[in-house]
Amino acid sequence: MKIHFATWLAAATLSLVPLESHAVEPLDVFSARIGGYITQFDTQVRADGETTRGTEIDLDRDLDLSQGNAIAYVGLTWRPWDRHEFGLGYYQNDSSATRRIQRDITFNGTTYPTQTTLHAESGIDTYEAYYVWWAGANENWALGPRLGLVWYRMDLTMERTLDANGNVVSDSQRREVSADLPVPSLGGSWRWVPAGNSDWRLSADAGWFSANINDVNADVWFGRFGVEWFPWERWGFSLDYTARKITADSSKTDFDGNFDFLDSGIRLGAVYRF
């Protein structure tokens, strides 16, 4: 899903709703949002072979895989009981580039010499899930502990297209790795509506965790701060900044190595709530 389509869809939907001002509560029973995520991924990957240690690769600096992008995202929240809320989210980022490398790179057991031309492709699918117990709440604010899980699906492929002399190669030496990186976190969530008949709502989430799960040893911290505006009773807009830092060592059969990743950016979307 391209960001311009998501933005057009949100604008077209909202244009059908009559403009009426209504007060918003700190918590929703249900909400759905769609929008654009202006991302800035900063990623370093090391993929070891069976007998050789891989090179620490910066996807942007070494392979010219641009880590800044505008992508679409979707999210849902549901509060089936008064103090218990569940949430889901998803977004995806893909990139590809061809570049003459400036140093030797060892990736998944294969060494590509300096001045070799490589074609590289990367893909990151992000699945988010969380649970919040709203331990404290009144008509203007809510606060509670948060348990979250982010599941990254990472794919990285490298293929030699030209040798160091610029000649087309007969053996492309194509190598790829795929990894599932489940990353839990523990933290807190906060929602606040200014006193009075307000159409605005502020929110924040934060957390940290360190764990070894399914042969993945990971450290993670995350934070998010956002503001929402509801000019209509059920429809509105959201703007937030989010950042998540992950360092993971994996010893799985499909990916043996290290993954160092900063996922941050601004999200703007349309929200439906009740």
Digit-by-digit pLDDT tens for the chain (274 residues) are 444 544 444 444 444 444 455 679 999 999 999 999 998 778 899 999 888 899 999 998 999 887 667 899 999 999 999 999 999 999 998 889 999 999 999 999 999 999 999 999 999 899 999 999 999 999 899 999 999 998 889 899 999 999 999 999 988 889 999 888 888 899 999 999 998 768 999 999 999 998 787 778 889 999 999 999 999 999 999 999 999 999 988 887 778 899 898 989 999 999 999 9
CATH class of 3-273: mainly beta
What is the per-residue pLDDT for 67?
62
Give residue 55's identity as a one-letter amino acid code: T
pTM reported for the whole predicted model: 0.83
Q: Are 172 and 162 within 8 A, CB to CB?
A: no
Domains of the chain, residue spans: 3-273
